[in-house]
Amino acid sequence: MTSVPQLASLKTKTSAPAPPSRKSLPAPPLKWSAPLPPSRISLPAPPDRLSLPPLPSIKSLPEVPTIVSARPLPSMLFLYAL
């Protein structure tokens, strides 16, 4: 209800094609809000999978202590390595 008057004022201030494009932009973000939760769950899943296979490979390397001391950093290091 409050956005209706705001849109009207915007229409008078800016050209007609401007308001429609702006309305379209806020629409997608709202839709993305819903898939945000699944995305968050999907993000942590891949790192775990990546951290599993690389662990053995790194164990062979002498950088084992570095990864052990920085457990939460391994995923970041792997991403950088990729």
Structure tokens at 36: 């945000």
Residues 26 and 52 in one domain: no
Residues 49 and 29 in one domain: no
The pTM for the full model equals 0.12
Confidence of residue 51 (pLDDT cuts 50, 70, 90): very low
SS3 62: coil
> Is 39 part of a structural domain of the chain?
no
Domain that holds residue 15: 3-34
Instruction: Count structural domains, the chain.
Output: 2
Residues 54 and 30 in one domain: no
Confidence of residue 73 (pLDDT cuts 50, 70, 90): low
> Is 30 part of a structural domain of the chain?
yes
The share of the chain scoring above pLDDT 70, in percent, equals: 0
Residues 49 and 75 in one domain: yes
SS3 25: coil
